[in-house]
Structure 1
């Protein structure tokens, strides 16, 4: 594979080699480990070039030194004192996590010490010295020359230490870092990291220092951070320079279009300053234009600090499409967010990309594949990743790294919220980030109302972006929809998801797809899995294209305005990437991928067809097929008699006889697809359950993989339901066993709604959009189909089954119930 041609670093870096300390034992020499898979950049990594690029692109200064490279290393015991003045027994390559091959350690330790020395350049004398730690997972302590200088908790956010008062006047300075990372033994935010066994959809953990460590000289009066918020309607960039030192200093901000000065204004430090941007050039995936910035801190007419930066002019919000549905928008116009799920893991560096070129590679491939968005999935990347997204033109949905899937207990909840808000604070100036995602599939969620309050707090912290309170609110450990945030997000494998905009929220498919292909000699475990495996590249490409065509249908028929395909690369045991985990092998025909992706972005704006409008259907009280089940399987209206399967028998029913089923393998098969499931339809039956346990389906119609619909008893909810896979219109109360009920399910395609009726009364409704217009499998009585297998057999008796090619009204359902048929 050809490597990406790297863009020049923002500033030159001089990596310091650790100075030997005055001890007797020399540490073991560093040697790169052998990863299960190597990337094109694995062999490029050496102690002299470990991520040498300037690590903070939105606040640059010319003077700095990189402290990446070889450090001494040792495992630590609980409560062990720092090894001041002692040589440690191993060497580790910083900033690669210790479990990674690139670190040279390649094992997990719960606790560890890092040690090195550094010297302060002579020309820095008289200035403050700040050490910057990009990220240390998870708890950290820092000693300088034997004195504790700082502590920090949090594995995904950076921290700074002013070490000026801890320095010797000259000569080597000793730096020791202690880190503790218990990973999934606690409820710390860990994202996909796990430590034990075959981790399935989770991956090898990353401990210790895993982002660049560096130092720079600064003045006592200095700029610590720039808060940059575009105001596109107001043709201005809002800038706040957060500072240290004396209060009430001035700042001067100059904006440039290349070398041309666009604007220069002066205001107060630590306060918002509006920088006019006349005739702004907007940032978008098609044209990711960025203005350069120069910011000076001024004290009584003298410049005491100066930094460089950049920003894009763009607006993020919800806008109405031509169909009147709320959709995601950029710069005031509908723009479908076409994304992949990007986990950010590497077989050689785990949490840390081997090189900056590698870090940019995945994003460059997104652009080549025709995507305009990346969902950074429950991980936070180094600043240079977001810099690349800004430069390349990719919108980013930024997840908060999840805790474990269990509900976070009380002692850890405040920590989770603290790290969430710190993540936002550190990243809210990057142009590319357009959406914040606090929760994924209910992992760690402890209370639905609290989830809503957290979403509100994120919106209050950053009103300039959209908030996706809960990606996959329909899935897994979710406590249910809090109703908060700007987006309603459903996950559906294989999908795509089909939620519709509701109230003041747009609808998105937060995860779908997951088609897999095994690639010999490029699999982490030598094997793996996916949501649907394919035999070859051609089939994988075809399934992707078919699935993405359904995304376009979902956009135009249901109103989704974003979708996230799983995923950009394989990761460990997951084999559902566009690339293998080592980034060595493209797994699809990328020309076809790009073509369908471009069609989605161009056509999924609400101006396309919403699908055919359903006709009035066939009139009549009995429907298009009616099964009295009165001793035979005769179709009393149509020509598709039902056949009893696997020993099902006739037994006393609600009206004469019905069919008794054993809940194991018995059902009745009509021998044909009785309904066009792309339009309106209704199914109705009298049912008596032998037990109110598990899922039990009364009427369904087989699809290729799943039933197109289920008229059922939902064991998960212990209520009657009319369902699509993952979506249920539910009755409000649990039924009784051994009691007859009249249950009717209606699909109203015009309203995009499922309805369930019990004993003639409307019992529940659910907004739902279906794309399944290809359900040609048989209509069956007494079971369903899911994941390609027969499931959910009825344990009870069914009678008087009707199917209609129209959506019955409330009055018609009531009349059917009253008739006893």
Structure 2
């Protein structure tokens, strides 16, 4: 077996790229409940899977593992410390159990990371890119003591070309400086708060998604953008390239298994439109995916190539026979029903202990009979959306909220009573930059069908402007301008929140121009002894003593929804997938050990909703 074959064999054997070995006394900290997957966390192979399924190259190195950490007083000093407090397991936030630290940082402190990695500076016509899946919130990155770059934003991936900073030898040092004001700052932060209580949870500071190193050619593909057009039977593909030369082209190929369906070559700075003959459409129950390769070609030689995938899927709206707007998937009305999914873990906080844990949440949701997930004021790692793509789960993607404090008026039938927040120019700039970055990073995932810029007036500002910008920036999806927030005559959707029983905005007022949805309802609570975040003082919108009583109430809600569908309701979101900290409204406990209502019972009762989707669309 030659060296090249041996290298490929090693990559396939571990299935995750190269990892560096570690020895440690690491263990989870704290006395809170944990998931079954916590025991599977290996500090030498933490979240080892390839982190970017939409843009795959074979040459990468996973940098997750034990790093040095220190928490120091906030100052303008950006010098990497010479002494550290201990070891932290990346990519788990410092406040989490799985980090091995479990400490709070706060606005008056800085969190430092440092690690030495095995990586040679001897690159042959290559560059080294250092990637971060997500760091909350503001960070500065240093390589061998020199600053590689800075980033602000807790939910979007970013990268730095560190080639000029490499030093001779086979060891390189990486350090990261993080400042996160949590709820004391104006930045997007979702449900994080300095004083966790009720529906507000533990802060998440620092690195919380995979860190990885990638070798690329001197001229390379930085990103791709894939947009299907079901009506035309085409896929439009473009790419951002670095250091492309005059005459370089993009060679784009679409594959159905081993069969190449179509191929196009265009100049490197242009978009290609590929025909997709007789497309097998993607939808819940039939999540058909096609393979895609995008190559940068120079003088008929491939300089760089990435592998990806795409789906032919259309999301739209149209008036039914009653003149009420309906949400359509591939030109057919499908009632969209899913849980409010906050993506929190008792042991990892924002970060699932393992990839299989993350997958478990999605496939269990599907098996319960849901066809949609509302990802609530959080953005997940790319692999979460990849699992939704291949499992056929529709996704409504929220923008994480922040800078709250304006007046909220959620009642249907009352327009404009609530207020848009008067944000500072800095706060607006932070929001706009990160919302665009989130949309860019996740554009290629076909599972995402709705963008949600605001939730319940939490920092809702310039609603009409932000909603119209979102519509213009991505016309391939629908826009829910303010889920449960202050209503404006903008966007595709009008969205009411109502607890606990289902309700809907008045069709005669809203349904002629916007799709009517129930963005949150339910919240039926059932604390399960031994599986709660704390022993007492847990909370639910309406608390029950046993599963039968809860399910009886839940079945009544489903019957109510059937009637609302006939009146014009297009979608509903039940609160929620799991318990989160003291909030016990989940269909599962926070540790995922107890499913409060049997999966088959939920699936059976949910089928009523999809049968009710057979409404008359044409007059």
Query: Structure 2 length normalisation: TM-score?
Result: 0.91
Higher helix share: 2
> Bigger relative contact order, structure 1 or 2, given CA contacts below 8 A and separation 6+?
2
Deviation at 1:310, TM superposition (A): 0.2
Whichever of the two has the greater Rg, that structure is: 1
Other-structure match for 2:543 = 533
- Which of the residues 509, 513, 518 maps onto 2:522? 513
Q: 1:595 to 1:123 in 2, by over 3 A?
A: farther
Deviation at 1:322, TM superposition (A): 4.3
The answer to whether residue 473 in structure 2 is matched with residue 458 in structure 1 is: no
* Bigger shift: residues 70-79 or 155-164: 70-79
For 1:600-615, list aligned pairs within 5 A.
Answer: 600-607=609-616
Deviation at 1:279, TM superposition (A): 0.2
- Which of the residues 494, 499, 503 maps onto 2:500? 494
The answer to whether residue 90 in structure 2 is matched with residue 70 in structure 1 is: no
Q: 1:297 to 1:10 in 2, by over 3 A?
A: farther
Deviation at 1:31, TM superposition (A): 3.1
Other-structure match for 2:432 = 417
The answer to whether residue 488 in structure 2 is matched with residue 482 in structure 1 is: yes
The answer as to whether partners of 1:552 and 1:604 remain within 8 angstroms in 2 is no
The answer as to whether partners of 1:29 and 1:91 remain within 8 angstroms in 2 is no
* Bigger shift: residues 130-139 or 583-592: 583-592
Q: 1:123 to 1:145 in 2, by over 3 A?
A: closer
Other-structure match for 1:14 = 18
Query: Structure 1 length normalisation: TM-score?
Result: 0.69
Other-structure match for 1:362 = 361
The answer as to whether partners of 1:487 and 1:506 remain within 8 angstroms in 2 is yes
The answer as to whether partners of 1:11 and 1:62 remain within 8 angstroms in 2 is no
SS in 1 for 2:445: coil
Q: CA RMSD in A?
A: 1.9
For 1:398-417, list aligned pairs within 5 A.
Answer: 398-407=397-406, 409-410=423-424, 411-417=426-432
1:706-733 deviation line (CA, Å, top 9, x unaligned) = xxxxxxxxxxxxxxxxxxxxxxxxxxxx
The answer as to whether partners of 1:18 and 1:71 remain within 8 angstroms in 2 is no
Mapped to 1, the partners of 2:160 and 2:531 lie a distance apart of 42
- Which of the residues 243, 246, 264 maps onto 1:245? 243
Deviation at 1:18, TM superposition (A): 6.9
Mapped to 1, the partners of 2:384 and 2:527 lie a distance apart of 29
Deviation at 1:82, TM superposition (A): 4.9
- Which of the residues 218, 221, 246 maps onto 1:220? 218
Other-structure match for 1:426 = 441
Mapped to 1, the partners of 2:59 and 2:383 lie a distance apart of 18
For 1:166-185, list aligned pairs within 5 A.
Answer: 166-185=165-184
* Bigger shift: residues 599-608 or 157-166: 599-608
Deviation at 1:268, TM superposition (A): 2.1
Deviation at 1:504, TM superposition (A): 2.4
Deviation at 1:458, TM superposition (A): 0.3
The answer as to whether partners of 1:96 and 1:103 remain within 8 angstroms in 2 is yes
Deviation at 1:497, TM superposition (A): 2.3
The answer as to whether partners of 2:324 and 2:512 remain within 8 angstroms in 1 is no
Other-structure match for 1:392 = 391
**Which runs of no fewer than 5 residues in structure 2 stay unpaired?**
1-11, 407-420
Mapped to 1, the partners of 2:250 and 2:437 lie a distance apart of 25
Other-structure match for 2:572 = 563
Mapped to 2, the partners of 1:139 and 1:114 lie a distance apart of 13
Other-structure match for 1:552 = 562
The answer as to whether partners of 1:267 and 1:273 remain within 8 angstroms in 2 is yes
For 1:272-671, list aligned pairs within 5 A.
Answer: 272-407=271-406, 409-410=423-424, 411-446=426-461, 450-473=462-485, 480-499=486-505, 500=507, 501-527=510-536, 528-557=538-567, 559-607=568-616
SS in 2 for 1:131: strand
Q: 1:228 to 1:9 in 2, by over 3 A?
A: farther
Other-structure match for 2:198 = 200
SS in 2 for 1:103: coil
The answer to whether residue 99 in structure 2 is matched with residue 103 in structure 1 is: yes
The answer as to whether partners of 2:71 and 2:85 remain within 8 angstroms in 1 is no
Q: 1:29 to 1:269 in 2, by over 3 A?
A: same
The answer as to whether partners of 1:538 and 1:589 remain within 8 angstroms in 2 is no
Mapped to 1, the partners of 2:167 and 2:432 lie a distance apart of 39
SS in 1 for 2:551: helix
Deviation at 1:364, TM superposition (A): 0.4
